[in-house]
Structures are given as structure tokens and as C-alpha cells.
Chains A and B, each alone.
Chain A
Amino acid sequence: MGATIRSSVDQGGEADGVLVEAINKLKEMQSTAESVRGNGLRGGGGDATPPESTWRNEIGDQLQPGPASPHRGFMKQELKSNDDDDKSKSRMNRFGRSMARNIESAQTQGKDTTASIIGQVAARDPVETVGVPQSHGGPEISHNDAAVPVQDVVANALLMSAFAVEGLSRLFKRKKNRDK
């Protein structure tokens, strides 16, 4: 059919735009078919049976990712992550239950002991609260945050004084020069 149309156009027949378009379409289909054949979807020697590795799944078949499939890699990763979560949960539960049981069986930690432990924590420095969300009960400001080392304050004061002296002496020099 393609040949007939082409010959009628070649022979100077009145080829309107639709016909030209049809021929182009036909050429396109032809080249697509050739490239598919070249990619090996058909076996050699005109055999229409595709090689086993390129068989398409039937509708309803389950997807069977190949050994190097990224899908399988993802599944493995997900399984590993789930496995890690399970291990982590079981470790927290085993340890936590055991410790909680021990603590519950002993005498309750008194107010003074808790105060002493909080005192130990207070000895740890520096306190870092950057990026901490405020609790619903209102702002919680760590008083230690405002603490600035004394040596920093002194160093800053000295630096500022040096700048001030330098600035003043330049001013006086300029004034003297002007007076002259």
C-alpha cells in the first residue's frame, strides 16, 4: 500500500497535504518496526518468538524483578530497615523492662537524691539549647545560656578601648594639622 501511494505521488499525481502526511506516517511506522527488529525483540532469521529474557508478563502475572533490579534493591533496603527497627524495639524493651523492674522493686528515689543528681547534671557544661522547641507550658529559658566567659568580656572591652584611643588620637592629629 505504501508503495502504491508513494508511486502515485512520484508520478506527479496531485498529492495534497493529507497524502504527504500519510506517507510520512507510514515511513515513521516502517522505521519504528525496523528499529524494534534491530533491538532483538524478534529472533534471527525471521523468527517472531522473542528470546526468553525479553518475554513480557501476561496480565495478572506477578512482577518478578531480576537479580540486578533496582526494585529488588529497594525491597532489600526496606526489609533491612524494618529488621533494624524490630531489633531496636526489642532491645529497648528488653533493657527497659529489666531496669524498670529493678527500680520499682527498690525504695523510691527520694527528693534529696533526685536533687543531688540534678546537681550533677548542672555541673556539666556548656548548656546548648539552640534549635530546641519551646514546650507548651511557656518559654523555658536556660539561665546558663546568658553566661559569657569573663575573659571574653575583658578582651572585648580592651579591644573597644584600643579602637577608641586610636580614633581619638587621629582626630587630635587632624585638628593640629588644621591649626597649623
Chain B
Amino acid sequence: MTSSNVRSLVRAVALGDTEQAQTLNDRLNDDERNELGVYGTAVLSVCLDHRFRDDSSRAAIDRFVEAMRSNYAKADPPLKVLAIEGVIRAFAGEDWILDEISPEDQQATQLPIIREIVASSAELRGRIDDVLTDADQLATAWASEG
């Protein structure tokens, strides 16, 4: 079961409440920081499934990445757009791409992608707590399988 701090942090980021996310980040202990990596992956998986379930073609991925590039134009430090594209293509079936992206960069893509997908989907915003619970179940299943 994911800690409430980690869950609340991802929730706050997903909804764009970055002030609260920063406050929660200050409170995380070491175990929760470890947990954030796996739980962030699970939330990312659920969000990517929602966004690319019907169309995970290269064209659809390109459109999404282009929108991200534009929406995050003011981000400082800038987003690693290539890493973002690689992560999404890995999700869409090109598994080998993950080997080309450092684990640090993989994790760094999670929160911005989650935010982008949730921001562009009223449906996801409306059932954000269900999304987080689904992700919790995924992460728990992965942990139990070792």
C-alpha cells in the first residue's frame, strides 16, 4: 500500500497544485522517496494507457510530445523531450528504448507526463482518485511478484 504522502504528492502534481506538491516533497522520508519511483511508474502506466489506448501510433506519440514541448516551453531546467518520446514509445511496444535512457531520466519524465495527460483529460481529472488506486494496485502486484 502506497504511503499517503507519496500518493498525495502525485495527486497534487497531476492536478497542477505544485505548491502542495513541494510541501509534500519536503516531508518525504527515505522509504517514501524509494516508493515514489515505483508508484510514479504505476501512475504513469495507467495514464499512458488512458491516453494511448486507442491510438499508440508514432503520429499520435509525435502529436503528444509536440504538445508537451510547447506547453513546457518555459520549464527550467528544460524538459528532456527525447527521453519523454522514448519512454512513450517504450510503452507503445518498443521496449528496447528503455535501455537507452538512464533510470534517472526515466524517472524525471514521469511527473511531467502524468501532469500533461491529466491536464488534457477532464475524464481523468474527474476520477483521479480511481486512477491513483488502480496504480496502487499495480505497484502492489509488482512488489509481490518481486
Contacts and interface: CB of A to CB of B under 8 A. Distances in A.
B95 interface: yes
Given A113-B108, A117-B108, A124-B112, A102 B103 contact: yes
B41 A103 contact: yes
A102 B126 contact: no
Interface of A is mostly: helix
Interface in B88-146: 90-91, 93, 95, 98, 102-104, 106-108, 111-112, 115-116, 119, 122, 125-129, 138-139, 141-142, 145
A93 interface: yes
In this complex, which of A115, A135, A144 has the most chain B Cβ atoms within 10 angstroms of its Cβ?
Answer: A135
Contacts of B139: 100
A152 interface: no
Contact of A103 (B28, B93, B103): B103
Contacts of B18: 118-119, 121-122
Given A121-B13, A129-B15, A131-B126, A91 B49 contact: yes
Contacts, number: 169
A111 B76 contact: no
Nearest to B119: A128
Contacts of B142: 93, 96-97, 100
A132 B138 contact: no
B34 interface: yes
Given A103-B106, A106-B104, A109-B33, A128 B95 contact: no
Contact of B119 (A88, A124, A133): A124
Contact of B17 (A97, A133, A142): A142
Interface in B8-54: 8, 11-13, 15-22, 25-26, 28, 30, 33-34, 36-38, 41-42, 44-46, 48-49, 53
Nearest to B114: A121
B25 A95 contact: no
A121 B115 contact: yes
Contacts of B127: 133
Nearest to B13: A121
Contacts of B103: 102-103, 105-106
20 contacts: A92-B48, A92-B138, A93-B45, A96-B42, A104-B38, A109-B37, A111-B26, A113-B104, A113-B108, A115-B22, A121-B13, A121-B18, A127-B119, A132-B15, A132-B125, A135-B129, A137-B8, A140-B17, A141-B17, A144-B16
Interface of B: 4, 8, 11-13, 15-22, 25-26, 28, 30, 33-34, 36-38, 41-42, 44-46, 48-49, 53, 71-72, 74-77, 79, 87, 90-91, 93, 95, 98, 102-104, 106-108, 111-112, 115-116, 119, 122, 125-129, 138-139, 141-142, 145
Interface of A: 84, 88, 91-100, 102-111, 113-125, 127-133, 135, 137, 140-144
